[in-house]
Amino acid sequence: MASASMAVPGEKQGSLQQDGSRKFVHPADVTGRFTRIRWVVFGVLIAIYAALPWITIGGHPAVFLDIEHRRFYLFGGTFNAQDAWLVFFLVSGVGFALIAMTALWGRVWCGYACPQTVFLEGFFRRVERWIEGPREQRIRRNAAPLSFDKVWRKSLKHAIFAALSLLVAHIFLSYFTSLDQLFRWVRLSPTEHPEAFGWMAGISVLMYLNFAWFREQLCLIVCPYGRLQSVLTDKDSIIIGYDAKRGEPRGKAGREGVGDCIDCKRCVVVCPTAIDIRHGLQLECVGCAACIDACDEIMDKIGRPRGLVRYDSQSGLDGERRRFWRPRLALYGVLGLVGLIVATTSFARRTAFEANLLRAQGPPFVVDGGTVRNTFNIHLVNKSPQLATLRIVAEASDRLDYILPIPSIELASLASATVPVIVTASLDELPDGAHVKLRAELVGAETPRELEAPFLAPQREHHDDGGEHDEHESRAEGGH
């Protein structure tokens, strides 16, 4: 829904030079209500990002994606690779919820909660401002020849950027490896863990290049979400927009016949992607609301009402009534809800262990004298977050004899094991349709799992007179 109602023909994008090369953006500082809200959100999110690997639930970090061992711990839930199907519903649910949120409130995620925004605005730009001063000073110094002042400030800034990148890289890695392991790697020489060191160094370099140099280009060029903005929003979505009806024609404050916009360009210089919001919603707008605070500050100074640049829908800016319910919102919302409900109920209904009864390889039964034998394996997985004892119990039967060489086994969280089960029966006493019945249970925990499989044996020959005899002629596949 990108609008170009106020675009100036031939005007170049803010972060590009006339020849198409990159123009480094130096956004000016801004204060105001939305900036304060963002600061609070950034602080909370940085604390959450950094704390999650430290918070333990059920003996494991709140979020720990142990890719090496294909074990995943999420807020007390333990998952293995077989649970990957759950991720589909979770990701699609979250994805559609984000899409519904975009249809409702535009790119609020980008402006307030995306890690790129949170770390760039919360850490790196603050450091830059602290060492190199406000926008005008930074631009002047960059254009000036090399000097002692320039060298020490740049060196200090990049040294801190490098340290911050290392810190952010370690926070990132702590989601994929245990904290003990991470601290051990930090203490050891890189030669003792070259692969892990390579990952850490690579991620740190990427973080440094991103936050020190690439910055808004990640949102403009790499991130697919921003590209989708125009198809996800419509004229009733809340966006950040300029009220052209009220602001135009631009001109000096108080002059006859001019609108409220005094063309001070304050909304442009604070923009982290260097666009002019007065040209309408653009793909480059990351929804940071800096231009709202900037313009409100100007409106306060010239004694005009706030909100020349504001959160509003295109309908609202055009003076029309905004519709809240729209078919697309209902569709995105329903799809998001379906995904989240399926994921949540599937997570909630997961049992603390898995037990599957599998017939052992080889012939399905073995006849030995007057007895027939079936051999099974039970594959057990402890999906609880701690060490647990899993027990196999055979159902009492006067026809089938169960041999359980390993009736119980201790398994670490997400560990698995296979235990054998041998079942024998006398051919003379074996009833038709006999079934092997076992129960697997996690000691001290929830409902047991019933395991059942047919007991296979050679089928008896039926004579015309309806009688049976017990010759061991097998009609069962693979019988012996």
Spatial CB neighbours of 147, under 8 Å, sequence gap ≥ 6: none
Helix (H) or strand (E) holding 182, with range, is: helix 179-187
Does residue number 244 form part of the binding site for ligand SF4 (CB under 6 A)? no
Structure tokens at 36: 């304060």
Q: Which is nearer to ligand SF4, 32 or 458 (CB)?
A: 32
Does residue number 269 form part of the binding site for ligand SF4 (CB under 6 A)? no
Q: Which of 164, 168, 171, 286 binds ligand SF4 (CB under 6 A)?
A: 286
Q: Which is nearer to ligand SF4, 241 or 336 (CB)?
A: 241
> What mask, x for binding ligand SF4 by CB under 6 A, covers residues 203 to 242?
-------------------------------------x-x
The position carrying tokens 């170049």 is: 12
Q: Which of 238, 275, 423, 436 binds ligand SF4 (CB under 6 A)?
A: 275
Q: Which of 157, 158, 265, 359 binds ligand SF4 (CB under 6 A)?
A: 265
Task: Looking at 318-432, list the stretches that DSSP marks H as alpha helix, in order from N- to C-terminal side.
Answer: 327-349
**Burial letters for 60-92: b for 16+ Cβ neighbours within 10 Å, e otherwise?**
bbbbbebeeeebbbbeebbbbeebeebeebbeb
Helix, strand, coil shares, percent, the chain, to 5: 40, 20, 40
Q: How far is the CB of 305 from ligand SF4 (least distance, A)?
A: 12
Q: How far is the CB of 308 from ligand SF4 (least distance, A)?
A: 5
Q: Which is nearer to ligand SF4, 291 or 434 (CB)?
A: 291
Nearest to 32 by CA among 278, 435, 310: 310
Q: Which is nearer to ligand SF4, 103 or 430 (CB)?
A: 103
Q: Which is nearer to ligand SF4, 150 or 265 (CB)?
A: 265
Can you tell me whether residue 423 is helix, strand or coil? strand
Residue 377 CA from chain centroid, whole number:
37
Q: How far is the CB of 306 from ligand SF4 (least distance, A)?
A: 10
Q: How far is the CB of 111 from ligand SF4 (least distance, A)?
A: 7
Q: How many residues bind ligand SF4 (CB under 6 A)?
A: 29
Q: Which of 294, 423, 425, 430 binds ligand SF4 (CB under 6 A)?
A: 294
**What are the distances in angstroms from CA 338 to CA 91, 94, 332, 341, 345?**
12, 10, 10, 5, 11
The position carrying tokens 């504001």 is: 310
Q: Could you give the count of Cα atoms lying within 13 Å of 306 in the half-sphere of its Cβ?
A: 11
Does residue number 308 form part of the binding site for ligand SF4 (CB under 6 A)? yes
437 DSSP β-pair partners: 452
Q: Which residues sit at the interface with ligand SF4, rule CB under 6 A? A: 240, 242, 247, 261-267, 270-273, 275, 277-278, 285-291, 294-295, 298, 308-309
